[in-house]
Chains A and B, each alone.
Chain A
């Protein structure tokens, strides 16, 4: 079981966390025209990187989203920070 650092609560077991998505994905502005291809990419295309990844997770007990940087090969945790103030 991995240990993830919630920026607000500290290290907790991975079972307390919920994956929210990869960092940096922007929602297309649907008030304007969005092509099928662009919308499809937003919904389904993930970077799915090998190695250093930047992801958004929610710590369920406190309900806060945060950025988690980790290594998808070694499972090493690189660091975490609050999502607030993040510019994609």
Chain B
């Protein structure tokens, strides 16, 4: 084994051994290791299989730029896919498995796929599987593709925190430049937050022998102390993954493996980007062989983890910074042979035990071949924020150009690779001054891909895109980088092209004979690294996401053994008692029809509208005429949208000349309130109309049924409840046991009903009184299911259930205001457009079926065409047969027609009838 851990290097804790497994084999690492560094230390060379050809792959880099070592990791009882071995810190007991490989990365059964590479190039799938139908092939192809497996188990306790935070200065990156910038800004009294994605600050500083005469560990500790002493915060294991509008930066903070990371939404006054730079791969035949890796990756493995990737190494590098890395490795006792790319074409071979390099007919093997084609500044955040990039000929790289608002780039991210230059920029940026990119000592000899050259040369390691694929794309005229990307999938893997995009667009530039900056880059989009969706969910779930509304009578309902369910955001009794629900519901309907039912209608809207303009305002808001209402009257009506469709229905009560109560649908109160507010403030004088939603302040108990009056009389109110004195659709106010009481004689069941409203705190007292008094008369509490059946028997509709987004009031049989109302009202003009006058509109009807229940949602079919659908359907306990409501084309003129009802392949017959099945003359209602 050539790779090994050596003493005297690294910021790891050798005293803490950690056991782990990879592809079923046990290994040992130490605290501070990543999965990748521990595997290299154990001599593991093959850490994954490529996406498409299943070629064996080794490590390329030491941090976020790694394209190959992707693993499914089990740890702390949690299994996570798509873990980058280089950024997953080792924990005791971890079990990792290479993705896309079985049984192991080293011996993958699908490795033979690579033999067919000649036929599997870019565009192969698009062209080959078109006939007869892509969907025939898709399942098998999808099964072969992909990186990792998502565990079907729910991750217990995997819940992300979401934090909102702000600071004056956010410094991204805790390397040389970031530390100095953060210190300068903090010492100048700014509220500074420094984030770094690694566990230990310092970036690539550990590769240096010393900084200002101090060891890197000592220097970093000094800076850290100064930053903290100046009052700044430091967040490690925290990645700035995206920059969004108005200075919002998305930060993801990782804890220990198995704990969900935390999302921090940071608002920063300004951002200093000190994100560093990456090594660029060189493009040459077989450059994806295990053991061909980045020079700075090898240097970092030594500097941070004390791991040497081998004893005999070759270095292929074309820039001046390579010297320092080579010196670091040589000082650690490594034998290094420098290969000059200019000496002739070269190709890699082997890889399993050692990696070979052939140049000008001379072949040699090494433990690893370290390459670097130059440095690429990490400018993702800069581009997220809308900053421009300039092409720099000296650096052969895109560097930050015109700055986005509030952002400054410093250090290697700015193309300033020399330490002294980086410090100067960082100090200036930290102090809030403009920075000037200084001239650089850095030199690089470009070694871009050579289109047309022989051999399989990898551009995108993670998505298996080769130089040939780029050439194919160019031949097919996918020459724009955005098209190139989508045709070849270049840069579309989970690493988002960190190592591949530059080579890809340089190749395209060469093919077209254009300069690189003219070809341009693809769009940089967040996130910079993959983030779990969990961070966006966080606490936004269940009760925290959609808190349920509670009835003041909930305890009473529970004591009565109510089955509680959610209806329109409220937790309400569906039925009472234990047993077969359909039987219990039928018994409730029967009791309410024969004697009396007690119903909790508290969620019914109670929006008060007051003021001198209230009448005119409501006359404009409602489809119906409101002006003619007298105090004490109730009126059933619709609110429309400006498109003329029904927005809400309900009963409006007039309490006085300037005082109304809008009793809108229970589930629609918030929407109606906003609707009223919008019209109140826009188009009206808001000082003459006042809107107050008192829905939750009042509880409403409805007594319904032939005995309703007798039950209500037991309260001993000073009101004449007789049919003559208290007519249907009127309202009276009084007091009961010292509390204001409003009684509306209005019905949703079709029977004589009183809705009694009282302040919420007195609800139980009222309910209990009515319940006790009514029980001897046969009264029983009824739930929402019984009420739904009763209203359907009567043909009363529920907006949103028996109407859809096109329903207008005349489709429901309410056409008088449309024909007669002269004053303007919301939606009026739309009721007279061509569509509104269409004879083939869907209209509300009833359906009768002698035999079977008609499923809700079933289509009414004639001539193989849907004529409408069933909106509500019940077995009617009162009538002893199924009933249904439906929306049907020209329904009102089709009463008596028999129509086919089709549902899930089954057809039955039903007869169209008027929507009212019970008491069409209203004798029960007006009793």
CB < 8 Å: which of B642, B682, B833 contacts A36? B833
**B816 neighbours in A (Cβ, 8 Å):** none
CB < 8 Å: which of B246, B386, B643, B822 contacts A43? B643
Known: A63-B677, A65-B678, A65-B681. A75 touches B824 (CB 8 A): no
The answer to whether B246 touches A58, judged by C-beta atoms less than 8 angstroms apart, is no
Interface string of B826-847 (1 = CB under 8 A from A): 0011100110000000000000
The answer to whether A39 touches B677, judged by C-beta atoms less than 8 angstroms apart, is no
Is B674 an interface residue, CB under 8 A from the partner? yes
Is B6 an interface residue, CB under 8 A from the partner? no
**What is the minimal beta-carbon distance from A13 to any residue of chain B, in angstroms?**
8
Complex-state Cα separation, A42 to B827, whole angstroms: 12
Chain B, range 229-279, C-beta contacts under 8 Å to A: 244-246, 248, 265, 267
**Residue of A with least CB distance to B642:** A43
Chain A contact-residue range equals 20 to 34
Chain B, range 55-74, C-beta contacts under 8 Å to A: none
CB < 8 Å: which of A1, A18, A42 contacts B245? A1
Complex-state Cα separation, A76 to B526, whole angstroms: 20
Is B683 an interface residue, CB under 8 A from the partner? yes
The answer to whether A39 touches B683, judged by C-beta atoms less than 8 angstroms apart, is no
Known: A58-B677, A83-B681, A84-B686. A39 touches B830 (CB 8 A): yes
The answer to whether A75 touches B674, judged by C-beta atoms less than 8 angstroms apart, is no
**What is the minimal beta-carbon distance from A3 to any residue of chain B, in angstroms?**
5
The answer to whether A3 touches B246, judged by C-beta atoms less than 8 angstroms apart, is yes
The answer to whether A1 touches B678, judged by C-beta atoms less than 8 angstroms apart, is no
**What is the minimal beta-carbon distance from A44 to any residue of chain B, in angstroms?**
9
The answer to whether A43 touches B682, judged by C-beta atoms less than 8 angstroms apart, is no
**A27 neighbours in B (Cβ, 8 Å):** 683
**A83 neighbours in B (Cβ, 8 Å):** 681-682
Complex-state Cα separation, A1 to B681, whole angstroms: 27
Complex-state Cα separation, A18 to B678, whole angstroms: 11
**What is the minimal beta-carbon distance from A42 to any residue of chain B, in angstroms?**
8
**A77 neighbours in B (Cβ, 8 Å):** 246
**Residue of A with least CB distance to B164:** A13
**Residue of A with least CB distance to B267:** A3
The answer to whether A30 touches B828, judged by C-beta atoms less than 8 angstroms apart, is yes
Chain A, range 8-59, C-beta contacts under 8 Å to B: 18, 20, 27-31, 34, 36, 39, 42-43, 56, 58
Chain B contact-residue range equals 20 to 34
The answer to whether B682 touches A65, judged by C-beta atoms less than 8 angstroms apart, is yes
Is A2 an interface residue, CB under 8 A from the partner? yes
**A3 neighbours in B (Cβ, 8 Å):** 245-246, 267
**B386 neighbours in A (Cβ, 8 Å):** 74
Is B823 an interface residue, CB under 8 A from the partner? yes
**A30 neighbours in B (Cβ, 8 Å):** 824-825, 828-829
The answer to whether B833 touches A39, judged by C-beta atoms less than 8 angstroms apart, is yes
The answer to whether A58 touches B678, judged by C-beta atoms less than 8 angstroms apart, is yes
The answer to whether A31 touches B822, judged by C-beta atoms less than 8 angstroms apart, is yes
**B673 neighbours in A (Cβ, 8 Å):** 63
Known: A1-B265, A65-B678. A36 touches B246 (CB 8 A): no
Complex-state Cα separation, A65 to B822, whole angstroms: 29
Complex-state Cα separation, A58 to B674, whole angstroms: 9
Complex-state Cα separation, A39 to B830, whole angstroms: 8
**A69 neighbours in B (Cβ, 8 Å):** none
Complex-state Cα separation, A56 to B677, whole angstroms: 13
The answer to whether A20 touches B682, judged by C-beta atoms less than 8 angstroms apart, is yes
Complex-state Cα separation, A70 to B291, whole angstroms: 54
CB < 8 Å: which of B267, B674, B823, B828 contacts A63? B674
The answer to whether A2 touches B642, judged by C-beta atoms less than 8 angstroms apart, is no
Interface string of B798-839 (1 = CB under 8 A from A): 000000000000000000000000111100111001100000
**Residue of B with least CB distance to A3:** B246
**B682 neighbours in A (Cβ, 8 Å):** 20, 56, 65, 83
**What is the minimal beta-carbon distance from B735 to any residue of chain A, in angstroms?**
32
**A84 neighbours in B (Cβ, 8 Å):** 681, 686
CB < 8 Å: which of B244, B267, B678, B823 contacts A31? B823
**Residue of B with least CB distance to A11:** B246
**B248 neighbours in A (Cβ, 8 Å):** 1
Complex-state Cα separation, A10 to B823, whole angstroms: 39
**B683 neighbours in A (Cβ, 8 Å):** 27
**Residue of B with least CB distance to A1:** B248
Complex-state Cα separation, A43 to B674, whole angstroms: 19
Interface string of B32-63 (1 = CB under 8 A from A): 00000000000000000000000000000000
**What is the minimal beta-carbon distance from A79 to any residue of chain B, in angstroms?**
14
The answer to whether B830 touches A43, judged by C-beta atoms less than 8 angstroms apart, is yes
Interface-central residue, B248, B828, B829, by most chain A CB under 10 Å: B829
The answer to whether A34 touches B829, judged by C-beta atoms less than 8 angstroms apart, is yes
The answer to whether A64 touches B642, judged by C-beta atoms less than 8 angstroms apart, is no
The answer to whether A75 touches B246, judged by C-beta atoms less than 8 angstroms apart, is yes
Interface string of B670-686 (1 = CB under 8 A from A): 00011001100111001
**What is the minimal beta-carbon distance from B619 to any residue of chain A, in angstroms?**
12
**What is the minimal beta-carbon distance from A32 to any residue of chain B, in angstroms?**
9
Interface-central residue, A1, A18, A58, A77, by most chain B CB under 10 Å: A1
CB < 8 Å: which of B245, B265, B833 contacts A75? B245
**What is the minimal beta-carbon distance from A77 to any residue of chain B, in angstroms?**
8
Chain B, range 632-678, C-beta contacts under 8 Å to A: 642-643, 673-674, 677-678
Complex-state Cα separation, A32 to B673, whole angstroms: 28
**What is the minimal beta-carbon distance from B150 to any residue of chain A, in angstroms?**
28
**A18 neighbours in B (Cβ, 8 Å):** 674
**A65 neighbours in B (Cβ, 8 Å):** 677-678, 681-682
**Residue of B with least CB distance to A39:** B829
**Residue of B with least CB distance to A36:** B833
Other 19 A-B pairs with CB < 8 A, given A31-B822, A65-B678: A1-B245, A1-B265, A2-B246, A3-B246, A20-B678, A20-B682, A27-B683, A29-B824, A39-B829, A39-B830, A42-B642, A58-B678, A60-B674, A63-B674, A63-B677, A64-B681, A74-B386, A75-B246, A77-B246
List 8 A-B residue pairs with CB atoms under 8 Å apart, sorted by A's residue number: A1-B248, A18-B674, A20-B682, A28-B829, A29-B824, A31-B822, A36-B833, A56-B682
Which B residues contact A (CB, under 8 angstroms)? 244-246, 248, 265, 267, 386, 642-643, 673-674, 677-678, 681-683, 686, 822-825, 828-830, 833-834
Please give me the 8 A-B residue pairs with the lowest Cβ-Cβ distance, nearest first.
A30-B824, A65-B681, A2-B245, A3-B246, A39-B829, A31-B824, A30-B828, A30-B829
